[in-house]
Amino acid sequence: MENISLDIDFVRSQFPSFDDTICKNWHFFENAGGSYVPKKVIEKMNKFLTTCKVQPYAEYEMSRIAGEEMDKAIKLFSQIINAKQNEILIGGSTSINLYVLSNALKAFVKPGDEIIVTNQDHEANISPWIRLKEIGANIKEWKINLDNAELEIEDLKKLITDNTKIIAVTHCSNIVGSVNNLKKICNIAHENDIFVIGDGVSYAPHGFPNVKDIDVDFYTFSLYKTYGPHLALLYGKEEILQKLPNQNHTFLEGQYPYTINPGGPNHEELASLVGIYEYFEDLYNHHYKDNKLSILEKIKKVNKLISIHEENLGNRILEYLRNRKDLKLIGKSYIKDKNRAPTFSFTSNKISSKEISQILISKNIATRNDNFYAWRCLEALGINTNDGVVRLSLTHYNSDHDVKKLIEALDLI
């Protein structure tokens, strides 16, 4: 039985931000908005810009290297999430990826067909599907349970009919923090011939998904929240991608997944994604000895290591919030077996979320108040969407000291 804990000193040594003149003075709890970047990613981008910032895929050396580095990033990330290389594409953001996907999936939707969205999701996985009303789609809303802000599976079953074609649902809410049982949702959907679009933006930073195990049809997450540059990944099952109409240049007809997204990714940022893989490889090698494992198996072990660390830190914050009668926490009050992400949203019955945020910032706690583009969720819970909630989000590079300083700052509210 392994008894290994995350070496937080090693982890933080991989992120230059912790030594930066500005960043080192802050305790960073805005990770759900975007994560810090390890030095391996920075080095990869710098190297690309200085040695092969040319049009890729020609035969001369700099161009050949550029293409190889871009292809390497795709290959490695496909292995990280257990996909085929031709099943993932890199776009500018999750919002962009879901918009172009919804536009492509019009080919499968006819007047009278039903699309289920939730009011727990970030707007990125709602608005693109609502737009399909213009071609006659009927939009149904899977609503949260107002007592606990959760999406109940039984409520989903009641919404499904013979006309249901798509379910768009978050793997993990960026407000509630709960990890939804996406695998079970996919099982139910596939029994009824329904596509599932999974938004993994708030899930992936805490452990990369195994998309084949989940059996999700499409899955997307933001790479700038998983320790990379401002890009996003979209996965789609090959058998579906093959049937989608070409939205790119006409000469690319049939060359999925490039047919989905007009143009292509930023070259240097795509190449720098190799640095994310190398960072996780370094994490694995620092903690474990067995180098014979596959990339997917190594990622699984690192995911577990990260989850335990985040659970320990997160439960200290949750315990504090539970004991504050003036603060109302949204979502589960305890993390167990990754049932929620370490993303905690709350309001006060005494002062505004904005005022709380200002107090925390004055004590060098980097956080904010907002609706975080999940305004439908807040509206359903009766929360002012302009003032929003205070959201505290951590990831595996947060430390005991960060949590101690956070709690000291919360005591001032």
Average pLDDT over residues 73-86: 98
Q: According to CATH, what is the number of the domain 8-37+298-410?
A: 3.90.1150.10
Give me the pLDDT at residue 85, please.
97
Taking phi over 0 as left and psi of -120 to 50 as alpha, with beta for the rest, 175 belongs to: alpha
Average pLDDT over residues 283-297: 95
How much is the mean pLDDT over the chain?
A: 97
Average pLDDT over residues 250-264: 89
Average pLDDT over residues 303-319: 98
Domain edges within the chain: 8-37+298-410, 44-275
Radius of gyration of the chain (CA): 21
Give me the pLDDT at residue 1, please.
46
Residue 51 confidence class, pLDDT cut points 50, 70, 90? very high
Is the pLDDT score of 245 beyond 80? yes
Residue 261 confidence class, pLDDT cut points 50, 70, 90? confident
User: Of all residues in the chain, what percent carry a pLDDT higher than 90?
Assistant: 97
Average pLDDT over residues 401-405: 98
Give me the pLDDT at residue 264, please.
80
Q: Kindly report, residue by residue over 172-190, the tens digit of the pLDDT.
A: 999 999 999 999 999 999 9
Q: According to CATH, what is the number of the domain 44-275?
A: 3.40.640.10
Q: pTM here?
A: 0.97
Give me the pLDDT at residue 23, please.
95
Among 204-213, 249-258, 343-352, where is mean pLDDT lowest?
249-258
Q: Kindly report, residue by residue over 30-39, the tens digit of the pLDDT.
A: 999 999 999 9
Give me the pLDDT at residue 265, please.
86
Is the pLDDT score of 368 beyond 90? yes
Residue 409 confidence class, pLDDT cut points 50, 70, 90? very high
Give me the pLDDT at residue 348, please.
98
Q: Kindly report, residue by residue over 12-29, the tens digit of the pLDDT.
A: 999 999 999 999 999 999
Contact 88, 115 (CB under 8 A): no
Q: Kindly report, residue by residue over 101-147, the tens digit of the pLDDT.
A: 999 999 999 999 999 999 999 999 999 999 999 999 999 999 999 99
